[in-house]
């Protein structure tokens, strides 16, 4: 998904090449996803009417293609961003060391999201296979499944097993891209917020000790500034991913909630497990993305509390400068500069979901 060369090498030298295998794979996936989107549009045109369910499928394919294109664009900037991040890490490690437990926390989050996504997609495959027709032989049953599941493709092309397998692979990678996008935001946010936490802990210790050395406070302020600049560079690089992730998650939550309110026919335990698990996984993942991304803003504002508790006897120009910087400089990830991700955004998103859900219900009634 992020076609950068050198990620697995020992020297950690990152670079982006248009002719690299990773990039060519991403471009191939982009082309196939775009074709899938076109085939779905052709299907909707042939039907002669726009159904809500078909529009949702069209948007799923379109978002997949856009996601791949954005990650290719991010990959072109990633080596430079990692070079800057490495410089900041080296500067901060001299005073703070590496964030304790961060490595294990990153692995744990990745494992939980990947495992939950595999379980959700497995339930989806079982659910769709259940409602496909059964043939007299296994090969005929598989053919009927492919023709039912990917009718936008096989309405145009005659069925052949290789094409069915390729379409299934593309569809699976579409699901992977959706989950990877959210996981990517969570991991980047966690790594960046961990550094802010280190600075906050150091500031709390200085305030408890009533540190009055102006040089110490100048060093802390410079460390904070390094992180603020790094956060701005990260935001410039991934802000499009943030916008796509939040807008896509909100849309899918609205769609899932809308379909659940329509009381879909549930005829067995598998149906119930899939509907409940899929919706809960979507909600929890959306909340997790928002909370992890908002942690950067939350941690960046904590020094203000400690600086305000300092007595006037040790108040200095450096402390005053630091306090003004924390108070008036907003450090946060954004969705293409359209919104800042903080904890209050979660409530605004919840309100937007309720509002648009009511609009959909009224539209359906009308």
Residue in the structure block whose two tokens are 């299934």: 168
Q: Going by C-beta distance under 8 Å and a sequence separation of 6 or more, which residues neighbour residue 98?
A: 89
Q: Residue 71: inside a domain, yes or no?
A: yes
Domain that holds residue 291: 21-365
pLDDT-derived band of residue 254, with 50, 70 and 90 as boundaries? confident
Look at residue 136 and tell me whether its pLDDT is greater than 70: no
Look at residue 347 and tell me whether its pLDDT is greater than 70: yes
What's the total number of domains in the chain? 1
Cα separation of 156 and 98, whole Å?
Answer: 55
What DSSP state is assigned to residue 133?
P
pLDDT-derived band of residue 104, with 50, 70 and 90 as boundaries? very high
Nearest to 42 by CA among 152, 148, 147: 152
Q: Residue 4: inside a domain, yes or no?
A: no
Q: Going by C-beta distance under 8 Å and a sequence separation of 6 or more, which residues neighbour residue 207?
A: 306, 307, 309, 310
Q: Residue 361: inside a domain, yes or no?
A: yes
Look at residue 225 and tell me whether its pLDDT is greater than 80: yes
The whole-model pTM stands at 0.89
Look at residue 267 and tell me whether its pLDDT is greater than 80: no
pLDDT-derived band of residue 265, with 50, 70 and 90 as boundaries? low
Q: Which residue has the higher pLDDT, 6 or 25?
A: 25
Residue in the structure block whose two tokens are 């900041």: 88
Cα separation of 252 and 254, whole Å?
Answer: 5
For residue range 300-339, what is the model confidence (pLDDT) as tens digits? 999 999 888 888 888 888 888 999 999 888 899 999 988 8
- How big is the CA angle at 73 (ends 68 and 77), to the nearest 5 degrees? 140
Q: Residue 66: inside a domain, yes or no?
A: yes
Look at residue 54 and tell me whether its pLDDT is greater than 70: yes
Mean model confidence pLDDT for the chain: 85
Q: What is the pLDDT of residue 198?
A: 93
Q: What is the pLDDT of residue 74?
A: 93
Nearest to 297 by CA among 366, 228, 209, 202: 228
Q: What is the pLDDT of residue 273?
A: 84
What DSSP state is assigned to residue 209?
T
What DSSP state is assigned to residue 313?
T
Tell me the H-state helices in the chain. 21-47, 52-96, 102-130, 138-149, 151-154, 161-208, 214-261, 269-308, 317-328, 343-365
Nearest to 297 by CA among 205, 197, 181, 203: 197
Phi (first) and psi of residue 5, to 5 degrees: -80, 145
Q: Which residue has the higher pLDDT, 53 or 107?
A: 107
pLDDT-derived band of residue 228, with 50, 70 and 90 as boundaries? very high
pLDDT-derived band of residue 223, with 50, 70 and 90 as boundaries? very high
In this structure, of 26-35, 128-137, 289-298, 331-340, the range with the lowest mean pLDDT score is 128-137
Q: What is the pLDDT of residue 133?
A: 65
pLDDT-derived band of residue 149, with 50, 70 and 90 as boundaries? confident
Q: Residue 37: inside a domain, yes or no?
A: yes
Q: What is the pLDDT of residue 262?
A: 65
Nearest to 352 by CA among 261, 254, 263, 284: 254
Q: What is the pLDDT of residue 196?
A: 94
Burial of 328 (0-12, 13-18, 19+ CB in 10 A): exposed
Total length of the chain: 366
What DSSP state is assigned to residue 15?
B
Q: What is the pLDDT of residue 15?
A: 86
Q: Residue 211: inside a domain, yes or no?
A: yes
Nearest to 333 by CA among 323, 325, 345, 319: 345
DSSP string of 261-300, one letter each residue? HT-----SHHHHHHHHHHHHHHHHHHHHHHHHHHHHHHHH
Mean pLDDT of 42-68: 80
Q: Which residue has the higher pLDDT, 296 or 358?
A: 296
For residue 123, how far is the Cα from the chain centroid? 22
Q: What is the pLDDT of residue 50?
A: 65
pLDDT-derived band of residue 364, with 50, 70 and 90 as boundaries? low
User: Are the CB atoms for 333 and 235 separated by under 8 Å?
Assistant: yes
Q: Residue 6: inside a domain, yes or no?
A: no
Q: Residue 205: inside a domain, yes or no?
A: yes
């Amino acid at each position: 998904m992020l076609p950068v060369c050198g990620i697995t090498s020992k020297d950690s030298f990152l670079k982006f090449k248009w002719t690299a295998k990773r990039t060519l794979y991403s471009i191939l996936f982009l082309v196939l996803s775009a074709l899938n989107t076109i085939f779905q549009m052709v299907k909707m045109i042939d039907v002669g009417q726009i159904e809500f369910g078909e529009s949702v499928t069209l948007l799923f394919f379109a978002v997949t293609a856009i996601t791949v294109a954005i990650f290719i664009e991010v990959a072109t900037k990633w080596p430079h961003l990692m070079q800057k991040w490495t410089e900041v890490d080296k500067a901060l490690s001299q005073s703070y060391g590496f964030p304790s437990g961060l490595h294990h926390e990153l692995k744990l989050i990745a494992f939980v999201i990947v495992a939950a996504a595999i379980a959700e997609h497995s339930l989806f495959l079982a659910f769709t296979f259940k409602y496909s027709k059964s043939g007299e032989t296994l090969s005929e049953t598989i053919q009927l499944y492919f023709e039912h599941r990917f009718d936008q493709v096989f309405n145009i092309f005659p069925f052949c097993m290789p094409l069915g397998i390729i379409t299934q692979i593309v569809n699976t990678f579409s699901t992977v891209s959706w989950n990877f996008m959210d996981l990517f935001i969570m991991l980047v946010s966690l790594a960046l917020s961990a550094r802010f936490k280190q600075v906050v802990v150091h500031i709390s210790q200085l305030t408890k000790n009533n540190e009055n050395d102006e040089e110490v406070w100048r060093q802390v302020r410079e460390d904070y500034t390094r992180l603020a600049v790094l956060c701005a560079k990260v935001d410039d690089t991934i802000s499009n991913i943030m916008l796509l992730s939040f807008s896509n998650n909100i849309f899918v939550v609205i769609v899932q909630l809308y379909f659940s309110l329509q009381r879909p026919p549930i005829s067995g335990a598998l149906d119930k497990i899939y509907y409940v698990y899929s919706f809960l996984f979507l909600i929890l993942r959306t909340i997790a993305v928002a909370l992890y991304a908002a942690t950067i803003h939350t941690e960046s504002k904590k020094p203000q509390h400690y600086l305000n508790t300092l007595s006037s006897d040790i108040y200095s120009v450096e402390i005053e400068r630091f306090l003004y910087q924390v108070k008036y400089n907003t450090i946060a990830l954004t969705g293409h500069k359209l919104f800042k991700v903080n904890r209050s955004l979660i409530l605004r998103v919840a309100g937007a979901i309720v509002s648009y859900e009511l609009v959909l219900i009224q539209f359906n009634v009308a």
